[in-house]
Chain A
Amino acid sequence: MSETTGGVEMQEDVSGVVKKFLYVNRKAPYGTIYALESLEVVLIAAAFDQDVSLVFLDDGVYQLVKGQHTKTIDVKNFSPTYRALEGYDIEKLYVEKESLAARGLTPEDLIVPVTLLSAAEMSDLMDGQDIVLSF
């Protein structure tokens, strides 16, 4: 994608269809590239003005935990970038209640405000999407 105005003025009229995209994050932030790749895809795709939701479940909830220190494993701490999502108009962040509780975490431990959903509600959310991308 080359640099454009992001299609702010034109996208909905021209391309028309807005689909519901759900990005499912289920892996710990470091150790694999999944979390970072997912975040980058989300940021790039944000330019297309689709209806985007992000889900964090299983070890994926660790991606949002406050106070990450990555110096000793020599990788970039990209967790502050989740706070930039709001500026990209990505405001629907969902965390699975059970996954969070199983890891002894609460919403106060997370770097961004999220909506908690039970596993059953999560299933409904997924059901209502056009496209689900799992990382």
Chain B
Amino acid sequence: MPIVVNGQSYETDEEGYLTNRTDWNEDLAKEMAKVDNCNLTENHWEVINFLREYYEEYQIAPAVRVLTKAIGKKLGPDKGNSKYLYELFPYGPAKQACKYAGLPKPTGCV
């Protein structure tokens, strides 16, 4: 089910995750969020960019528990908690934010 942004079509899987990670760009993330009725704020981008860096370094999308802990380390305890992250990404911070970040679904999520 391809997603079309700025006249360009991008391949995704049946759940909307980008097939080729290298296709990713910010407009694509915004379009994916729009489909979910989610308006991306600075706070969303902070998490999305964090995930992209994490993937670059470790070649996996982190489990939500690991993400929460790592965000806390980097951005402080007021952001490194489930409540904050679930408010930003109500479909599940790892699942939803990874999708916007153009990453595969985290290992361990079905």
What's the tally of chain B residues with a CB closer than 8 Å to chain A? 21
* A80 adjacent to B58 (CB under 8 Å): yes
Instruction: Give complex CA distance A104, B87 in Å.
Output: 52
Stretch at the interface among B12-20, B27-35, B40-48, B61-69: B61-69
A66 on interface, CB distance cutoff 8 Å: no
The proximity string for A residues 1-13 relative to B, scoring 1 for CB distances below 8 Å and 0 otherwise, is: 1111111100000
* B60 adjacent to A84 (CB under 8 Å): yes
B94 on interface, CB distance cutoff 8 Å: yes
Residues of A within 8 A of B60 (CB): 43, 78, 81, 84
The number of inter-chain residue pairs (CB within 8 angstroms) is 56
* A47 adjacent to B59 (CB under 8 Å): no
Q: Which of A2, A40, A76, A80 is in CB contact (< 8 Å) with B109?
A: A2
Instruction: Give complex CA distance A41, B69 in Å.
Output: 21
Instruction: Give complex CA distance A5, B57 in Å.
Output: 23
Given the known interface contacts A77-B59, A80-B58, A81-B58, the answer about A3 and B70 at a Cβ–Cβ threshold of 8 Å is no
The residue on B at minimum CB distance from A79 is B59
Instruction: Give complex CA distance A59, B58 in Å.
Output: 22
Interface magnitude class on chain A: 20 to 34
Residues of A within 8 A of B2 (CB): none
Q: Which of A5, A44, A80, A83 is in CB contact (< 8 Å) with B108?
A: A44
B6 on interface, CB distance cutoff 8 Å: no
B107 on interface, CB distance cutoff 8 Å: yes
The residue on B at minimum CB distance from A43 is B107
Instruction: Give complex CA distance A7, B108 in Å.
Output: 13
Residues of B within 8 A of A83 (CB): 57-58
The proximity string for A residues 64-85 relative to B, scoring 1 for CB distances below 8 Å and 0 otherwise, is: 0000000000001110110110
* A44 adjacent to B62 (CB under 8 Å): no
Residues of A within 8 A of B65 (CB): 5-8, 47
- Tell me the residues in window 75-110 of chain B with beta carbons closer than 8 Å to chain A beta carbons: 82, 92, 94-95, 106-110
The residue on A at minimum CB distance from B81 is A5
The residue on A at minimum CB distance from B91 is A3
Q: Which residues of A contact B (CB under 8 A)?
A: 1-8, 40, 43-44, 46-47, 76-78, 80-81, 83-84, 87-88
